[in-house]
């Protein structure tokens, strides 16, 4: 017996309006909370960035774009931009590459890979401020483990590397007191602390790659491990890579704990590690210059948003689902 579908019963306008009011009533608290917590502070910071406001003052003056002009004309803020982008450009690609390599290694080891997974993820679990203090002791010029180990290893095989040869002859540098090395020490610690987190994300992405794809690629002539990685693994990790790179960029722009632990008053020797987050803390909190601190905050948000949008546009063009 044939079944005849009954036509859809049109809903009355009153019913539609009642459902819409119910939907807005349920979503309203979450939207209001998001507006108060996320959007209002950004709007307030944007307004204060055009003033010379300081906490405790009864009034303030509007200075227009004067705060932004200072950011692009003074040498201190030029060093801030250089240090910030040096850290981002260095830490992000290396931590992402090491995270991918560690994930492939751990994924290929089976159950024994859990040991390496734990070891690589320990820096992520530890408090970065505590780890920075530990690194400060290890990088001490006289009693630190790093220089003591290099001094013990001084020998003929160090002479082929000018830096190590000079260090054996004249003493190794003050890692935290030399402006030529300060930002690179911060980059190294950031990479050491961050690539374990990227490894876990890539491990999650590797579990979603179907084994049938590798069998099909092998039947099509992909015999070597590199060919299987290039033709199957890397394209399948496209969505994971988008997420990992985005998160790594945002985390890199937010670096602060290490600089605060190493140089609580200056942002490194000669401002060589004076990153944007530390500049916001110094101007807005330590010096109570809310106006210039808000201007740096707005630039920080603009850089993060711009970088995220450009990066997602570039990477997602090659994403395979």
8 Å CB contact between 261 and 133? yes
pLDDT at 86: 93
* Residue 83 lies in domain: 70-139+175-316
Give me the pLDDT at residue 97, please: 92
pLDDT, tens digit, for every residue of 103-128? Answer: 888 888 777 777 777 777 777 777 77
Task: Indicate whether 82 belongs to any domain.
Answer: yes
pLDDT < 50: residue spans in the chain: 1, 320-321
Residue 22, domain member (yes or no): no
Say if 83 falls within a structural domain.
yes
Residue 54 in domain: no
Report yes or no on 44 lying in a domain: no
Nearest 5°: phi and psi at 177? -110, 0
Q: Which domain CATH number covers 76?
A: 1.10.3720.10
Structurally, the chain folds into a number of domains equal to: 1
User: What's this model's pTM, rounded to 2 decimal places?
Assistant: 0.81
226 domain-assigned: yes
122 found inside a domain: yes
pLDDT tens, position by position, 54-66? 887 777 788 888 8
pLDDT of residue 321: 45
């Amino acid at each position: 017996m044939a079944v005849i579908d009954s036509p859809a019963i049109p809903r009355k306008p009153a019913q539609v309006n009642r459902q819409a009011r119910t939907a807005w009533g349920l979503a309203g608290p979450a939207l209001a909370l998001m507006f108060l917590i996320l959007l209002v502070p950004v709007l307030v910071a944007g307004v204060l960035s055009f003033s010379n406001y300081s906490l405790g003052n009864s009034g303030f003056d509007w200075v227009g774009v004067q705060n932004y002009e200072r950011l692009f004309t003074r040498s201190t803020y030029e060093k801030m931009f250089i240090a910030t982008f040096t850290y981002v450009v260095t830490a992000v690609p290396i931590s992402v590459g090491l995270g991918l390599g560690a994930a492939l290694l751990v994924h290929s080891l089976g159950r024994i890979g859990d040991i390496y997974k734990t070891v690589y993820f320990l820096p992520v679990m530890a408090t970065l401020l505590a780890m920075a203090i530990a690194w400060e002791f290890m990088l001490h010029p006289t009693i630190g483990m790093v220089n003591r180990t290099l001094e013990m290893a001084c020998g003929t095989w160090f002479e082929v590397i000018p830096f190590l040869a000079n260090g054996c002859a004249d003493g190794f540098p003050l890692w935290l007191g030399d402006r030529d090395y300060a930002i690179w020490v911060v980059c190294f610690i950031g990479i050491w602390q961050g690539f374990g987190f990227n490894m876990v994300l890539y491990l999650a992405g590797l579990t979603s790659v179907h084994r049938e794809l590798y069998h099909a690629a092998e039947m099509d002539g992909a015999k070597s491990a590199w060919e299987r990685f290039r033709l199957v693994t890397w394209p399948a990790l496209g969505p994971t890579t988008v997420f990992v790179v985005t998160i790594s960029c945002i985390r890199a722009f937010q670096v602060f704990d290490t600089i605060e632990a190493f140089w609580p008053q200056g942002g490194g020797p000669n401002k060589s590690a004076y990153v944007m987050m530390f500049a916001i803390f110094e101007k807005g909190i330590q010096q109570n210059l809310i106006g210039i601190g808000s201007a740096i905050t707005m630039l920080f948000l603009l850089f993060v948003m711009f970088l995220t949008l450009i990066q997602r546009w570039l990477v997602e063009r090659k994403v395979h689902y």
